[in-house]
């Protein structure tokens, strides 16, 4: 047990190097923070439906079918629980909650003689970094807290190239931050580490939609690779033993660039009189992630580490909505699987299960509520120990759409 206590106090430098060398890919590959309460109620399976403002994110080709000006927004509140351990008797539960704005935006259809052309612009949250966990061994305790996320300001358009084929394009300016706090305490030792990263980037989403029949659609969406610019805004480290500071570090100033590979999504949807069903698969080869610039001398070794630890992954989503006949009420449900990019070993797959409800008022205001529950059970190596985590999260979304009268 003494070795376990000592290992807790020695984990901070290791976790710091992991954050710098590989965790940028890890945090950017977390479950997407899909915008919009309506689509969230269908687990983000929306690429082949895409008939409201959030098409700007899911598939800009869907904007081509919008004939009325639309204003929309949504917010969220989330609750996290994480049970982590490095062996029997070392588990410690950590809880966290967070809230914020999921999206807001505007759709502007253009009056055209034939077909359809619409523009859209707005803001949406892409990834959330809130992921705390703790470990306890006798009188020793380790706690890791992360917060922050990636946001996008987006502009795009959709157009009808023919009656059956629609196309679209979205431009996104990406920005965000990641704050990381590590603390480890024993009766005689206290270790603290804090880092603050900011990031910026740019990406393009190209979308298309094929109307195979009145009910059946096929959609393709491609997100271009992103070159993220990372900047360390702050870094502090201190080691205290028996009340005395024995090691201290406070540095600032190095920047680097990380290349994140493309993402390809193939989706199909069936739209009946009372219901719509969407199923889709997304592919990303995370092993192609690489540093274009790096702050350490061994640039090539850092990229080899990424290649060894990360693999191609397929994400799957299935969702639908059902309009209750003779009412303005809509019920929604969905399920999604987002596998970890690495270097984690999944004990049980990471699933997201969602449900939602919508209510249409006077064909103008659409109110939506969604709830999502995600659970993941996995392990990853950290030096001489294997850290096991069981994570669960509950996310509530509330949003509205206002469609202006023609």
Classify 18 as helix, strand or coil. Answer: helix
- The residues, ordered by sequence, that sit 6+ positions from 90 with a Cβ below 8 Å of its Cβ are 4, 135, 136, 137
pLDDT for the residue numbered 4: 40
pTM: 0.86
Domain of residue 71, residue span: 2-403
Q: What share of the chain is helix, strand, coil (3-state, %, to 5)?
A: 15, 65, 25
Written as one string, the DSSP assignment of 84-121 is EESSTT-EEEEEEEEEEEEEEEEEEEEP-SSS-EEEEE
Strand partners, 40: none
pLDDT for the residue numbered 80: 86
- Taking CA atoms, 193 is separated from 145, 334, 386, 398, in Å, by 11, 39, 21, 36
- Taking CA atoms, 339 is separated from 144, 156, 313, 344, in Å, by 22, 29, 7, 10
Burial of residue 87 (number of CB atoms within 10 Å: 0-12, 13-18, 19+): middle
Cite the beta strand spans of 189-225 per DSSP E.
Answer: 189-211, 216-223
How many domains, the chain? 1
Query: What CATH number has the domain bearing residue 190?
Result: 2.40.160.60
pLDDT for the residue numbered 382: 60
Q: How far apart are CA 252 and CA 255, in angstroms?
A: 9
Taking only the tens place, the pLDDT of each residue in 109-156 is: 998 877 789 999 999 998 888 777 666 666 677 777 888 889 999 999
Q: What phi, psi does 306 have (nearest 5°)?
A: -60, -45
The enclosing H or E element of 135 equals: strand 133-137
- Of 334, 392, 363, the closest CA to residue 133 belongs to 392
- Of 363, 359, 338, the closest CA to residue 350 belongs to 338
Q: Are strands 189-211 and 140-160 parallel, antiparallel or unpaired?
A: unpaired
Q: How far apart are CA 271 and CA 287, in angstroms?
A: 37
pLDDT for the residue numbered 405: 79
Positions in the chain short of pLDDT 50 = 1-22
pLDDT for the residue numbered 240: 86
Burial of residue 363 (number of CB atoms within 10 Å: 0-12, 13-18, 19+): exposed
pLDDT for the residue numbered 11: 44
């Amino acid at each position: 047990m003494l070795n376990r206590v000592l290992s807790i106090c020695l984990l901070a430098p290791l976790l710091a190097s992991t954050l710098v060398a590989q965790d940028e890919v890890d945090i950017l590959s977390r479950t997407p923070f899909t915008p919009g309460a309506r689509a969230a109620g269908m687990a983000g399976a929306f690429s082949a439906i895409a008939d409201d403002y959030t098409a700007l994110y899911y598939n800009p080709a869907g904007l081509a079918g919008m004939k009325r000006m639309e204003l929309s927004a949504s917010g969220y509140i989330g609750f996290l629980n994480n049970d982590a351990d490095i062996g029997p008797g070392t588990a410690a539960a950590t809880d966290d909650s967070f809230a914020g704005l999921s999206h807001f935006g505007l759709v502007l259809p253009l009056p055209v003689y034939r077909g359809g052309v619409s523009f859209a612009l707005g803001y949406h949250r892409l990834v959330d970094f809130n992921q705390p966990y703790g470990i306890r061994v006798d009188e020793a305790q380790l706690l890791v807290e992360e917060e922050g996320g990636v946001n996008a300001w987006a502009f795009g358009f959709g157009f009808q190239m023919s009656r059956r084929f629609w196309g679209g394009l979205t431009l996104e300016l990406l920005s965000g931050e990641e704050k990381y706090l590590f603390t480890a305490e024993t009766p005689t030792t206290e270790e603290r580490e804090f880092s603050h990263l900011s990031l910026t980037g740019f990406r393009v989403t190209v979308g298309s939609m094929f109307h195979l029949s009145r009910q059946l659609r096929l959609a393709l969406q491609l997100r271009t690779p992103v070159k993220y610019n990372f900047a360390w805004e702050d870094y502090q480290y201190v080691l205290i033993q028996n009340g005395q500071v024995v090691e201290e570090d406070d540095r600032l100033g190095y920047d680097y660039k990380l290349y994140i590979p493309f993402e390809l999504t193939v989706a199909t949807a069936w739209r009946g009189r009372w219901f719509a069903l969407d199923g889709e698969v997304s592919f990303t080869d995370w092993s192609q992630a690489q540093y274009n610039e790096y702050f350490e001398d061994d640039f090539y070794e850092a990229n080899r580490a990424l290649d060894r630890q990360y693999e191609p992954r397929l994400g799957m989503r299935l969702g639908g909505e059902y309009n209750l006949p003779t009412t303005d009420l809509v019920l929604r449900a969905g399920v999604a699987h987002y596998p970890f990019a690495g270097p984690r070993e999944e004990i049980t797959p990471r699933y997201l299960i969602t449900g939602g409800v919508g209510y249409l008022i006077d064909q103008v205001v659409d109110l939506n509520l969604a709830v999502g529950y995600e659970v993941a059970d996995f392990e990853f190596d950290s030096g001489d120990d294997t850290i096991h985590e069981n994570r669960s999260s509950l996310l509530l979304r509330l949003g509205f759409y206002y469609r202006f009268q023609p």
